[in-house]
Every structure is written in C-alpha cells, then in structure tokens.
Chains A and B, each alone.
Chain A
Amino acid sequence: MTTTDLAAEDRFQNTDALLGATRLAFFTPIRNYPSLADSKAKSILAADGLMISVFLIYHDRLVMLLHNDYLGVVFLILTLLASFSCLLLIGGFCAYIALTMPIPPMPESLAFFPEIARLSLDEYRSKITVLTHRQVVHKILIYNYSLATLCARKFALLRRAMACVRAQFFLWLVITLVAAFAGKVDPKSPDKDNSPPRVDRKARVTHSRLSLDAPTVVAKGPATDE
C-alpha cells in the first residue's frame, strides 16, 4: 500500500462516520417551513382584513342595530362584536408575531448569512477553507437547530391564531347574517329609505318619449285607436 493510499484510507475512515450525518444535516427538509408558516400567517391576516371589510359594508346596519330599542338585541350585538374584536386582536397579533419572528440567536456558524456578511471576503475565504468535515457538519447543524426552533415557535403561534380565526369566522357569520337580515326587516333601513321609488314601466316609457322635464301621468286602461 502506497502513502497516498494510506492517506486516502485514513481520510475515508474519518469521513465514513460522518457520511450519514452530513447527508442528513445538509438535506434535512426544514428550509421550506418558515416560508410555509409565513404564508399561513399572511393568509390569516388577509382573512381578518376581509372580514373587517365586509363589516364595513354593513356598518350602517350594525349601527342601526346598536341603536335599537330592544336592549337584548343591543346587548347581543355588542357581545358578538366585542368577542369578535378580541379574537381578531389576539389572532392577528399571534399571526403578526409569527410572521415577523426572527431566527433565534445561534452560536457562530458560517451557514448563517449575518455571520458571513459580518466578515470581509478574505476573512470568509480564510475561515471556510480551513474547516474540516466535522466542523462543516457542526456548523450546518447549528443552523438547522435554530431554524427548527424558529419553525416550532412560528407554528405554535399559528395554531393559536388559527383557533382564533375559526371562532372569529363563526361570529362573523352570525353578525353578518343578522346585519343582512336586519336591513330587510326594519322599515327604517337606510337601504329602504334610499331606494328609488317604483315607477310604472308604461309610465316611464311614455315619460321618456314625451318630455324629460314634465312627467306625464298615463291613465291605465285599454288602448284606443285615434
């Protein structure tokens, strides 16, 4: 056996024990999860925004309900709205924190971008080229661990946010339905007040044909030939 073969054998024995670890360290399927959590958080915030926007459409009717003479209805609507607002704030806050949560601090690792950016290109080069396989695996494992911790924290918050959104959606549905039906039932509804008066189709046609300024009353009855 030559010296080169011995060296190769020695190197093989050193890295052989690390083969599985290296593969697992570099290919741990972990890097898509923070962005997945971010997407979920954004969806929750978007859902919150949409629910509030729908309330905005119905806000006249909600105000009308709150000025109702029946105290029971006022109390019910206020309770529903207050519960919805609390859930919205808690869920939204959890989603926001999950979205903006930074990666937890980690020991020095050349796998993490602030660490690389902190060095000059020459320092980075000189540091990375003297690393052994074991050190490389160690550095990537440090990064993986921090990322895993980040994912766990993000998803824990998202679970809470999701629970809030579920309950919130139920309340939103009830409030929206009540507001929608209240507008139809109440005779003082702004929709009914503002709705245009019904015009007889025949009368409208005649009006447009004759004059735009002077509406004419058309007598209903059988048409006669002149």
Chain B
Amino acid sequence: MKLSLPSELSDPVLPHLPAMPHRLDAAATLAFLTPLQEHPPAADAKAGALLTVVGLMFTLLTGTSKYLIAVVARGDFQTVILGVALAGFGILSLLTVIEAFRTISPRFPAAPPSLAFFADIARLQRDDYIQKVEAMTPDEALEQMLRYNHTLSGICVQKFGRLRKALHYCRPAFGCWLVAMILTSLRMVF
C-alpha cells in the first residue's frame, strides 16, 4: 500500500531523508548535508602537529646545548649569527605556540541559539527540548540548521585564520632553528 503525503510535502530527493515541503526541499538538502563537521578537527589536528614540531625543535636544540654553548663562547661572527637565530627561534616559536593554542580553543563568536548545537540543547530540560523540536515547523527547523551552519562556518574561518598565522610564524622559526642546528653541527664535526 502506498502512503500518500500531504500535497505540500515533497518526496525527498534522497529517500532516507525525512520529507520537507517542496519549497524548502532543495535548501534543506544542502543545509542538512553541508560538509562542515570535518573542518574543525582538521584545523585542531594541524595545530597539534605544529605544537609537536615546535616541541621537537626545542628538544633537539636542548640535546645539542653543549655545542651551542661552545659556539657562543667563540665570540666571533658565528656567535652573532647563532644569537640572532636563537632569539628569532625563541620569539617566533612562542608566537607559533600561542596561535596554535588559539586555533585549538578560539574565542567563540556570539551566535544566535540553535537547537542543532549541543550546548543549546543541553541548556534545556529534556522535556522542553522534545517539546520545542516536536512543535517546530519545517521553516523553523531549517532556520535552526542554518544558524548552526553559519556559526560553525564562522568558527572554522576563525580557526583556519589562526592556523594560517601559526604557520606564518612557524616557517621562519624553522629557518632560525635550521641555522642554529647547522652551526651546532659544524661545531660538532670540526
């Protein structure tokens, strides 16, 4: 037996999705399936990798400290280059770490509440939440999803902006570290 839908309801384009009114079907398909969820973890993972890289660079510098001291004790042009490289590395890596942490935990922008967001759901009592969602019209449901998408997009932009800054600092920090390591290695070998 074929179940008939009310005339304003659409047969869903993707059959496993609940039906929406025809006028909202296309928007709802995109809004509910906009690929946003994977971006915040991606930014966090990259920031974590940057923190690891900076940690490794510090560890390696510490491991060769006795040769670093030997180069510093020379008091010639190598000492000056090493000093500049170490100072640059210290400052830039600190900025990288700060920006990486701000990527992982950004200051969230003020956003309208949305029943698609876990914190707003958790703020309600269970019965209130169920009652609100059950009483929702399709337009309101779509609106909740659009608000969520919009807020999450803003957060993603913020996160990737911070990450870009962290990378911006990390590259010259790596250069400084490389200079310091080359000088140390030369001291080690010769």
A contact residues vs B (CB 8 Å cutoff): 4, 8, 11-12, 15, 18-19, 22-23, 26, 31-32, 34-35, 38-39, 41-42, 45-46, 49, 52-53, 56, 59, 62-63, 66, 78, 99-100, 102, 110-111, 113-117, 119, 121, 124-125, 128-133, 135-136, 139-140, 143
B contact residues vs A (CB 8 Å cutoff): 7, 10-11, 13-14, 22-27, 29-31, 33-36, 38-39, 41-42, 45-46, 49, 52-53, 56, 59-60, 63-64, 112, 142-143, 146-147, 149-150, 152-154, 156-157, 160, 167, 188-189
Contact of B10 among A11, A41, A66, A128 (CB under 8 A): A11
Contact of B52 among A46, A121, A128 (CB under 8 A): A46
Asked if A38 and B42 make an inter-chain contact with CB atoms under 8 angstroms apart, the answer reads yes
6 pairs, CB–CB < 8 Å, chain A vs chain B: A42-B49, A100-B167, A117-B157, A129-B23, A131-B26, A132-B26
How distant is A175 from chain B, measured CB to nearest CB, in Å? 14
Residues of A within 8 A of B39 (CB): 113
Asked if B29 and A133 make an inter-chain contact with CB atoms under 8 angstroms apart, the answer reads yes
A124 CA / B152 CA spacing, docked (Å): 13
Asked if B150 and A63 make an inter-chain contact with CB atoms under 8 angstroms apart, the answer reads no
Asked if B46 and A99 make an inter-chain contact with CB atoms under 8 angstroms apart, the answer reads yes
How distant is B156 from chain A, measured CB to nearest CB, in Å? 4
- Given the interface pairs A26-B14, A35-B38, the reply to whether A128 lies near B146 with Cβ below 8 Å is yes
Asked if A111 and B56 make an inter-chain contact with CB atoms under 8 angstroms apart, the answer reads no
**Which of B11, B22, B30, B52 has the most A CB atoms < 10 Å from its CB?**
B30
Asked if B30 and A139 make an inter-chain contact with CB atoms under 8 angstroms apart, the answer reads yes
- Given the interface pairs A35-B42, A124-B146, A143-B35, the reply to whether A45 lies near B25 with Cβ below 8 Å is no
Asked if A100 and B154 make an inter-chain contact with CB atoms under 8 angstroms apart, the answer reads no
Contact of B26 among A26, A49, A133 (CB under 8 A): A133
Asked if A111 and B11 make an inter-chain contact with CB atoms under 8 angstroms apart, the answer reads no
Asked if B153 and A113 make an inter-chain contact with CB atoms under 8 angstroms apart, the answer reads yes
Asked if A35 and B41 make an inter-chain contact with CB atoms under 8 angstroms apart, the answer reads yes
Asked if B29 and A117 make an inter-chain contact with CB atoms under 8 angstroms apart, the answer reads no
How distant is B163 from chain A, measured CB to nearest CB, in Å? 8
Residues of B within 8 A of A116 (CB): 34, 149-150, 153
7 shortest interchain CB distances as A-B pairs:
A116-B153, A117-B153, A113-B153, A56-B63, A49-B56, A117-B157, A113-B156
Asked if B27 and A128 make an inter-chain contact with CB atoms under 8 angstroms apart, the answer reads yes
